[in-house]
Amino acid sequence: MLNLSREKFAELKDKKVVFPIYVEINGDELTPVSIFYNLKGKNRFLLESAESGKEGRYSFIGSGPYLKVKSYGNLIEIEKEQRTIKQHGKVLDYIKENIEQDYDKTTLSCRLQAVHLVMQGMIL
């Protein structure tokens, strides 16, 4: 079952904030990799929470991200709305300080909020 109704989706998309759309599925039916390979769109991504030798708990799959962050040492390139901004610093500091403000927190369950915060400290 999806986490949002059609009405809530329509309300949030007009606010121009980032919000999660997710569904919990039985792992025997589909795998994250099979979903990823069948996903349409540009700049597809698959992020998994697996530890070495263990099964993962969460998978984040998507395409067409609203923002790309690249880091080369202390040089950070941010691509957003067809513009590229370059700045110096630590990429994880940028993520922590800037990306979280784009999310609509009313749509995040407690479980997803915790995962979101962990992701901000570990990804990219």
Average pLDDT by stretches of 10, the chain with 124 residues: 80 76 73 85 81 70 82 89 92 77 57 42 38
What's residue 75's pLDDT? 92
Provide the b/e sequence for 45-56 (b: ≥16 CB within 10 Å): eeeeeeeeeeee
3-class secondary structure, 11: helix
